[in-house]
Structure formats: C-alpha cells, structure tokens
Amino acid sequence: MNATNVKPAEGKLGVLVVGLGAVTSTFMTGVLMARKGLSKPVGSMTQYDKIRVGKGADKKYLKYEDIVPIAKLDDIVFGAWDVYPANAYESAINCEVLKEKDINPVKDELEAIKPMKAAFDHNYAKRLDGENIMVGKTRWEMVEQLREDIRNFKKENGLDRVVVLWAASTEVYVPVDENVHGTLAALEAAMKADDKEHIAPSMCYAYAALAEGAPFIMGAPNTTVDIPAMWELSEKTGMPIAGKDFKTGQTLVKSGFAPIIGTRCLGLSGWFSTNILGNRDGLVLDEPANFRTKEVSKLSTLESILVPEEQPDLYTDYYHKVRINYYPPRNDNKEGWDNIDIFGWMGYPMQIKINFLCRDSILAAPLCLDLVLLSDLAARAGRHGIQRFLSFFLKSPMHDYTKGEVPVNHLFQQYVMLKNAIREMGGYEADEEID
C-alpha cells in the first residue's frame, strides 16, 4: 500500500440505522451471513470492485481494501431506531424479503438488535402508526435523546467509531427555507423553538449524529442534510455527510442508460417512468406530500445528463414524467417500466422499453454497506462536508446549489469520481478525467 494519511480502521464500527424495515433487516442479515461465510455480499463495490492504480508498468487492479484501510465486516456492530418495537429477526421475517432458511442461521444475533424509540412526528409520515416512539419531546429534546442513544450504544458495545444511516421512510417534502435552514445558528434556534413545520425528525437524527462525531448518510430523498446549516455543522464537527436517496432500481437504469442516448447523439422526445411496489416505503409514498419528496429526487437525474444547452437539436423539449404506485401484492418486489421516445436521423422516431423486475431491498442492502464503509473511511481520511464521490450510490446527489453547482448524475462519471477518491485516499494519483 502507498503512503496514506488515512487513520487505520482499528476497533469496532457501530452502524446505527434509522428504520428497521425491509432494507435494514436485509442489510443486517446479509452482513451477518456473509461474515459467517454462509452467503455472498453480491452487489457491494467495497467487497468486489477492483480499481486500477498506477499506469504503464506500474499498473495494478486492486480491491478497495488493498488501496485504503476499510473496516472489516467482522468489526461491525448493528443498532437501530424504529417506530415499531419488532427486533431485527422479527422484522426480517415480517418483511418477507428473505426466505426463513436464509435468516435462521443468524437468528440469535438479529434477535439481539432491538430498536430504540424513534424520534417521530406522525405529520411527516401519516401512514405509519408505531408506538415505539419518543412521546411529548420537542425537536431539541429529540436531538438530546438521540445523542444520548448514540453515546450509550457506543459505550455498551465498546465501539471505536459510529456511522448513522437513514433507511426509514420518505418524509413529507420540506422546502428549503433560507431563514431556518440557511445557517447552523438559525437551525439550532428553530429546533429549540420546536419549529415542527421546518424541522423534520430526520434533521434531529442528522444533527445528533454529526454532533456526536458520527458520519450521517441520508438514504431517502428527504431535505435533511441538503441544507447549508447541516453543511456548516459537518464542517464544524469534521464529519462527512452523504445523500440523498439510495439509487437502486429505476434511477440506476436511467443514470446508466441515458448516457447511451447522449453518447450516440440521439434525440430524446420523452421519458415516462412508472413503478409499482408494495412494501412500507410504497405505503408511505402513496401519500401525495411524501411522493412529492421522491418525485423531486427522481426527476433531477435526466436533466443533468441530457442537457438542452449543450445539444439544443437533441434535448430541447423532452417530456419527463415519473410515477410510483402503491400495490400491496408485490411487497418488496418492485417493478419499473420505462418508455423512452427517441428520434434519430432526419428526426425519425423510435422507442425503447425497459421493464426492470427488481427487489428493492436486495439492491439497497449492498448500497447501505458501501455507504457505511466509505463514509467511515472518509471520516478517518479527514474528509468532511458533502461527499460527492459517493454520488454513484445516490439518486439525487448532494451539491452546493447556493453556488449554482450542478450535480453529476451520469453513472460512469460518478464511477470515475468514486475511483479517484479511493486512489487519492490510498496515496495514489487521481488520474482519470471526468469527461
């Protein structure tokens, strides 16, 4: 390994997840099974991907762990908060993503993961009715309680470091309000004034995590850390933040397929995307105010890949529509349909149809693992603020919109950003251009 300034991954790494539903229970079960050698962490970049370092005679293709010090699966200790009291084993069984035979070998470990009381506000997720919640607490009291939860979890498990990951439902859309979200001082004042309208419960988790020296990852499209006040807090505490929204099914396809149209200089008339899913996420998204949050995140993908200003003949007037439909019989098995109307030589129309029958949690679990391990790595490398190199894993990558920054949504450009960051942290040259 080259000379690197990254601190080694010594001791145990706590992974505290907000939400102990389908995604989280699948993620936890998979990690516990993989470290017993009973299953494979397929889909995880940190476990499988190889990156080229060096050029010419010095060229080598190495796994991430051979370039940078990444925490081992054996060192991970799981914890969670959830509005429902079911432990991780009960949740894994109830969610029906995995077969019982793939859960039972780690039953004892999963049963020991009991969710702490959630900081929850019914107005932000009207379809959820759990009783395992903090009662009568103001927003600031929620923050204080969550900080205590993190400290206790760390102490009780003898942990060296903690990462906090949001894998709970999509909240009602919270528009960015400069007066509340613009500065850390304003955000803290609003929390202390119990401003329920502008302070979503997820913001309490993010604040608590960063204040306790834990990186925070937003796996839903919530506004949570996508505000200047949180950027300020992450700089102040020296902690990385990443978000937002796991890029699992349809948007993964979009961020990988749109470059085909752009690279081949074909025109686009319209892109219609629709989904059906039936898990708790689908139930929550059936509420229009919650869907609005998701829609904003899904719609942003295409516009930064096929840019009208760069190719006015090809991308000036395309129509882009996204729909999600709650359909209980499918449970966690999402189905995404994309209808793409393109045009070619002399403006003649053509169509592309993509039908992705995916399993939401099976695609999200490896993303959780990678985001946790790479956020922990970033923290040990002294990287704070928005981690743009993690855009590869996220549907609506964070960026500084106050300075007019455009996020990179093109999957292969995101991959270059990821590889370059790993190279740099490993003491190698970041030698790939983002073209």
Each residue's pLDDT tens digit, 404-435: 998 999 999 999 999 999 999 999 999 999 98
pLDDT at position 2: 66
Residues 218 and 263 in one domain: no
Q: Say if residue 244 is preceded by a cis peptide, omega within 30 of 0.
A: yes
Residues 329 and 372 in one domain: no
Q: Is residue 431 part of a domain?
A: no
Q: Is residue 84 part of a domain?
A: yes
Q: Is the pLDDT of residue 1 over 60?
A: no
Residue 340 is part of a domain; what is its CATH number? 3.30.360.10
Residues 35 and 108 in one domain: yes
Q: Is the pLDDT of residue 299 over 80?
A: no
Q: Is residue 5 part of a domain?
A: no
Residues 201 and 311 in one domain: no
Q: Is the pLDDT of residue 61 over 80?
A: yes
Q: Which of 310, 331, 357 is the last residue of a domain?
A: 357
The token pair at 263 is 């690279």
CB atoms within 10 A of CB 299: 14
Q: Is residue 433 part of a domain?
A: no
Residue 203 is part of a domain; what is its CATH number? 3.40.50.720
| Overall domain count for the chain | 2
Average pLDDT, the chain: 95
> Per residue in 301-335, is it b (16+ CB within 10 Å) or e — as a string?
bbbbbbeeeeeeebbeebebebebebbeebbbbbb
Residues 325 and 369 in one domain: no
Single pTM value for the model: 0.95
Domain that residue 289 falls in: 250-357
Collapsed DSSP state (helix, strand, coil) of residue 203 = helix
Q: Is residue 434 part of a domain?
A: no
φ, ψ of residue 334 in degrees (nearest 5) = -70, 155
Contact (Cβ atoms closer than 8 angstroms) between residue 47 and residue 195? no
Q: Is residue 31 part of a domain?
A: yes
Largest CA distance in the chain: 68
Picking from 387, 377, 392, the residue whose alpha carbon sits closest to that of residue 425 is 377
pLDDT at position 417: 98
Residues 370 and 344 in one domain: no
Residues 316 and 367 in one domain: no
pLDDT at position 214: 98
Q: Which of 357, 389, 417 is the last residue of a domain?
A: 357
